[in-house]
Structure 1
Amino acid sequence: MQKAAQQETRPAGRRRAPVVRRRGTSPEKTAQTRQTIADAALAEFLEKGFADATIESVAKRAGVAKGLIYRYFEAKEALFSAVVQQEIVHAHIDVDDSKKAAGESVEAFLRRTLVPSIRNIEKKSRADIASVVIAEGARFPALVEIYRRDVIDPLAQKIKRLALSAKKSGEIVDDHLIKNPHFLLAPIWAGIVINKFLDKSNPVDIGEMFERQLDMIFSGKGK
């Protein structure tokens, strides 16, 4: 009753101020901002390397405030991880054994899925990102850990499963690829080192090297 009386004696026309609710950032806007920053970070890393890249320069490239970057990425290593995810992990390289068509051999599956990507590795940014890891990984171990965790280990595990399937079907006769799936990936790394560091004036065809490795593995010539 007392509460009701107080309400009745409130001066007429006096109303509570409306509550202003700010609209949060949409998921689409958040994703677009992250991509813009990651694109700027990619350009910065490829131009200057990891050591000389700065958050300030990334912000300037992206056209955003430096503080905004820290809302999405806590450090420069997190930016590098985002670049790896965007440019390599999500690059639609699907060699999961569950994607192999019925009756398709492992060799044919790898030639269909992996070879086209390897042939374009230098046309995209993937070889350049790997070269940053090679050049600066000793100084910045976090780069190696990011690349190993997000790229190398998942790919090696998928190749190992494919190697087990190939051994079971008789496509390969030994356990070399099962025990060391990096055997298949070795020409990629060799090609990147040659083209980016050892002999830039006489680059090798990384895609061709990879296909010849496939030939040796599945023909038995590499034994």
Structure 2
Amino acid sequence: MTTTEPRRGRGPSPQKTAETQARIVEAARVRFLSDGFERTRMLDVARDAGLAKGTLYLYFPTKEALFEEVVSLMLGGAVQRLELEPPGPEETTWDFVRRALMPLATDEQAERRQALFRLILSDGQRFPEVLAAYRKVALDPVLSAARRIGARARARGEIGSDALERMPMLLIAPGLLVTVWNHLFPNEALDPPDVFESYFDLLFDKAGA
């Protein structure tokens, strides 16, 4: 008489896993932007995603890990364009920066990103994990890319200063300006695309454009 081993249960498919994770992250995005970091509860995110709380923790063991994934979802595209889609040989640095960063001000997610920046500004000092997630996922990679962008532009004669290499945070200045100004003066709101375009006009002389 022969015996057979019990049939092993099959786990969820990669597609199912990806869909569940995407549902969790979207539910978390809505909660973080509406409630802030402190008041967002994992239980509420799980409920909004249609999951048991225990299932949520299988995907994201902490609220900090979940917030980091939300930041990656909302800002990762710009980081990827700066890091993985370098300027073409004949592309001016000004055109590359506009191509890489202008979508932040013009696509359908622009207002949500401003809300994320406001959350980071308001909660970052009280919750270091908020700033840590932002620095890891978005800020540090962008600053590193900004130094390379500044060096390229200076080598090509498109800017006459090493300021962008010394102070790479200048590259993200227009986004911060729009976020802070529009929060303080909503009745005098700045138009994000116009601010980005005007700022890069000042930063680069568009030599060769």
Specify if TM > 0.5: yes
Aligned-pair distance for 1:148?
A: 1.1
Q: Which residue of 2 aligns with 1:50?
A: 37
Matched, 1:202 2:184: no
Structure 2, unaligned stretches of length 5 or more? none
Aligned-pair distance for 1:46?
A: 1.2
Q: Which residue of 2 aligns with 1:6?
A: none
Of stretches 208-217 and 57-66 in structure 1, the one that deviates more from structure 2 is 208-217
DSSP-derived class of the 1:219 partner: coil
Q: Which residue of 2 aligns with 1:115?
A: 102
Q: Which residue of 2 aligns with 1:5?
A: none
Q: How does 1:165-184 map to 2 (within 5 A)?
A: 165-184=152-171
For residues 98 and 169 of structure 1, the distance between their equivalents in structure 2, rounded to whole angstroms, comes to 19
Deviations 1:102-131 (A, max 9, x none): 211111211223223323376452221111
DSSP-derived class of the 1:20 partner: coil
Aligned-pair distance for 1:15?
A: 4.8
TM-score, L = length of structure 1: 0.85
DSSP-derived class of the 1:95 partner: helix
> Which structure has more RCO (C-alpha within 8 Å, separation ≥ 6)?
2
For residues 53 and 85 of structure 2, the distance between their equivalents in structure 1, rounded to whole angstroms, comes to 43
For residues 84 and 47 of structure 2, the distance between their equivalents in structure 1, rounded to whole angstroms, comes to 43
Of stretches 34-43 and 176-185 in structure 1, the one that deviates more from structure 2 is 176-185
Aligned-pair distance for 1:207?
A: 2.2
**Out of 137, 143, 154, which is 2:124 matched to?**
137
Q: Which residue of 2 aligns with 1:34?
A: 21
Contact 1:50 1:136 survives alignment (8 Å): yes
Report which of the two structures shows the higher radius of gyration computed on alpha carbons. 1
TM-score, L = length of structure 2: 0.90
Of stretches 57-66 and 14-23 in structure 1, the one that deviates more from structure 2 is 14-23
Q: How does 1:68-107 map to 2 (within 5 A)?
A: 68-90=55-77, 94-96=81-83, 99-107=86-94
Which of structure 1's runs of 4+ aligned residues deviate more than 4 A? Answer: none
Aligned-pair distance for 1:97?
A: 7.7
Root-mean-square deviation over aligned CA pairs = 2.1
AA partner of residue 55 (structure 1): M
**Out of 144, 167, 178, which is 1:191 matched to?**
178
Deviations 1:165-205 (A, max 9, x none): 11111111111111111112112112101223x12232111
Structure 1, unaligned stretches of length 5 or more? 1-13
